[in-house]
Amino acid sequence: MAPQTVLCIGMAGKLNSHLYSKETPPYVINLDPAVLKVPFGANIDIRDSVKYKKVMENYNLGPNGAIVTSLNLFSTKIDQVISLVEKKSDKFKNVIVDTPGQIECFIWSASGAIITEAFASTFPTVIAYIVDTPRNSSPTTFISNMLYACSILYKTKLPMIIVFNKTDVKKADFAKEWMKDFETFQEALRADEELNNENGSSSGYMNSLVNSMSLMLEEFYSQLDVVGVSSYTGEGFDEFLDAVDNKVDEYNKYYKAEREQILKEKDEKEKKQKEKSLSHLMKDLGIDEQNKRKKAAKKDEINVLSDTESFEEGEHDGIVLPDEEEGVEREYTFPEDRTGEINDEEEEIQARYQEAYEQVAKEAGSKTAENIAKYIRQ
């Protein structure tokens, strides 16, 4: 059975230790090239392949640019990574992929899409989007995070779990309630607006926008599994793993079939594009023109007498031979003013005719009767 892959945006370290405590150690992949210390044992670490500081120096890049470039370099070997995971797939149930803390460097980069696609096309894959619960107590900040989560869902087209972290500091019940009950969120938004009015930082436009966004996100919420966890105490991780199992079932039932259909359409599109490119190439090389000339020549050959005669297969090879039956005399038609006598000039004409006829026979009927007459008139 293929292992289930969790693309984590945050909190991978605690999840790793939790799985070890359950005696089901995962296969761990670290994709953050800039991290100084990884608080968990990684089976594959991008830092072993790409030196982040060297990338910054060699390409004159800033922190984010160097992360993207490091991921680009690593993604060229993603087939080897997938191969390694497949070889060990019988020894573990979960694959944890820890992505860079700068979410946009992974989600919105070409290399991030390549890596995500590689895992999702090989193993059941789930996105775990981690939200800092204490920092999302404001309705405005909460909506911003939900919009980000929505964009990630539609970018990856994979099952998603919203994970509210740090529940040991602030419980995630308020956030879950906001996602279930629109009116509760409206009350919180009005309370926040009144507080901002008192502080002189109210924005009517912002509140109106947040209100509209919350209405739009109702459908989005219905497609999610939401859990609260604490990476400090380990609370909620069993619930999180149950949510992963639930999303893997969803992946196998819906996403897998959809992805296979997308890949099939992509292959067909590429096949048509290749055929179109080959056609253009043949045209550029003049091959089409040659084929047209060959077809035209073949069409002309059909009108030749030798090709339209009915012969047994192999008889004369389609060549009409002179009638050499014994006792048959050839007759020649001459103008009426002729006396019927054959003089030297007429003998020469007959010889030229005979020569032309034999030449035509040798060329296997490649010239028509009109060509023969033209040859004689020369």
Three-class DSSP category at 94: strand
Q: What is the CATH number of domain 5-263?
A: 3.40.50.300
Please give the pLDDT value at position 247.
Answer: 94
Residue 6 · residue 96 · CB < 8 Å: yes
Residue 248 · residue 124 · CB < 8 Å: yes
Burial track 92-103 (b if 16+ CB lie within 10 A, e otherwise): bbbbbbbbbeeb
State how beta strands 94-98 and 160-165 pair.
unpaired
* Distance in angstroms (rounded) separating the CA atoms of residues 247 and 33: 28
Q: Is the pTM of this model over 0.85?
A: no
**Using one digit for the tens of pLDDT, what is the confidence trace for 110-157?**
999 999 999 998 999 999 999 999 999 899 899 989 999 999 998 998
What average pLDDT score do residues 242-269 get?
A: 87
**Using one digit for the tens of pLDDT, what is the confidence trace for 197-239?**
766 655 667 778 888 888 888 888 888 899 999 988 889 999 9
Q: How far is CA 192 from the centre of its chain?
A: 45
- Report residue 318's pLDDT band, with 50, 70 and 90 as the boundaries: very low
**Using one digit for the tens of pLDDT, what is the confidence trace for 344-377?**
555 666 666 667 666 656 664 555 455 545 545 5
**Using one digit for the tens of pLDDT, what is the confidence trace for 96-119?**
999 998 888 899 999 999 999 999
Three-class DSSP category at 97: strand
- Domain boundary assignment for the chain: 5-263
